[in-house]
Structure 1
Amino acid sequence: MKAARDWSVRHAKGLHKLYEVLAWTLHLFDPVLRRIGYERLDKPFARVEGLIKGFLFDSQSCGQCTLGSTGMACPMNCPKTLRNGPCGGVRQNGGCEIKPEMTCVWVKAWEGSQQMGEAESGLQVIQLPVDTRLKGHSSWLEALKARPETSA
C-alpha cells in the first residue's frame, strides 16, 4: 500500500485532473442517478470507490473525501486521524511521532499539493470533523448530493 500511496502523491496533478473528469461525468449523469436513488446506489458506488481509492491512496473510506485538498494524501491515514494539518509532533526527517517509520501524512499532503500546483490553497481549507455515520458510504455520491439540483 505504501508504494501505491507514494506513487499517488508523486502523480497528484494527473490524478486530480482524472478526478475532475470523473466528477464532471457523474454530474452529467446526476439526473439519472437521482431518479434511481442515491440510497440504492450507495453500496455499489462505495465498493467501487473503496477498491480504487483503497489501492491508490490507502483510503479509509470515511465518506467525506478530502484528497483533492490534501495533495492526494488521505488524512485518515494519520494515526491521530487529523484532518487539518500536522499535530506538531512531526520529526525533523518528516516522520510521524506515533509511527516513526511512517512519513507524516501531512508531509506527503504538502508534497502532493506542490505537484498539483496548489501548494497552499487546498491545505488552507479547514475541514469539518469526520461524521462517522458516513464511514463506508460513497463520498462521490455525497459530493453529488451536496450540489444544488439542476434542472435539465
Structure 2
Amino acid sequence: MYRVRRWVVRHSRLLEVIYQGFEPLLIKLHPLWKRLGYERIETPVRQVEKAVKGLLFDCQMCGQCVLSSTGMACPMNCPKNLRNGPCGGVRANGHCEVRPEMKCVWVEAWEGSRRMQQGERIHVVQAPVDFRLKDSSSWLRAVRELTHDAAPASRPSRSDGAVNEVR
C-alpha cells in the first residue's frame, strides 16, 4: 500500500483530474440515491469507496475526506492524525518521528499539492476530525452537500463555516 500511496502523491494532478470527472457522475446519481434512500445505499457505496481509496490512498475511512486539500496524501495516515500540517517532529530526511521508515505525510502532502491545479487548498485550515463519521462514505456526504440535501445528522457541525472540500 505504501508504494501505491507514494505513487499517487507523485501523480496527484492526474488523480485530481480523475476526481473532477468522477464527482459530476456522483452528483447525477443523487436523484436515484435519494429515491432509494441514502441510509440504504450507505453500505454498498462505502464498501466500494473503501476498496478504491484503500488501495490508492491507504484510506482510513474517516468520513471527511480532504485529499484534494492535501496533495492526495491522506492526513489520517499520520500516526498522530494531524489534519493541518506536520507535528514539528519531522526528521531531517523528511521522515516521520513516530514511524522513521515512513516519509512524513505532510511532506508528501506539500509535494503533491505543488503538482495540483488547486494546490493552494493546502492552506485551508481543516476542522478537527469528527470521529462519529468514521467508516461512513465521504462520497455520499459530498453529494448531499453539493446538492444542498445534507441531512442534519449526516453533516458534522462546523463552527468555522468551512466545507469539506474533497471526498
Identity %: 55
- Who is 2:135 aligned against? 136
Normalising by structure 2, what TM-score? 0.85
Give the paired residue count. Answer: 148
Aligned-residue CA RMSD (Å): 1.1
Structure 1 unmatched ranges of 5 or more? none
- Who is 1:87 aligned against? 87
CA distance in 2, matches of 1:101, 1:49: 28
- Who is 1:127 aligned against? 126
Structure 2 unmatched ranges of 5 or more? 150-167
CA distance in 2, matches of 1:58, 1:136: 14
CA distance in 2, matches of 1:10, 1:27: 28
Give the aligned residue type for 1:138: S
User: CA offsets, 1:87-118, max 9 Å, x none?
Assistant: 11111110111111111000000111111144
CA distance in 1, matches of 2:130, 2:71: 21
CA distance in 2, matches of 1:19, 1:138: 15
Moved over 2 A (4+): none
User: CA offsets, 1:15-74, max 9 Å, x none?
Assistant: 111111111111112112111111111111110000000000101011110111101000
Give the aligned residue type for 2:124: V
Give the aligned residue type for 2:142: A
- Who is 2:144 aligned against? 145
Label 1:118 to 1:29 Cα distance change in 2 as closer, same or farther (>3 A). closer
Superposed counterparts of 1:40-51, under 5 Å: 40-51=40-51
User: CA offsets, 1:118-137, max 9 Å, x none?
Assistant: 44x11111111111111111
Q: Structure 1 residue 142: deviation in Å?
A: 0.8
Give the aligned residue type for 1:143: A
CA distance in 1, matches of 2:17, 2:77: 23
CA distance in 1, matches of 2:133, 2:103: 27
Give the aligned residue type for 1:12: S
Normalising by structure 1, what TM-score? 0.93
- Who is 1:36 aligned against? 36
- Who is 1:114 aligned against? 114
Give the aligned residue type for 1:75: P
**Secondary structure in 2 aligned to 1:145?**
helix
Give the aligned residue type for 1:80: K
CA distance in 2, matches of 1:77, 1:110: 15
- Who is 1:23 aligned against? 23
Give the aligned residue type for 1:97: E
CA distance in 2, matches of 1:25, 1:83: 28
Give the aligned residue type for 1:10: R
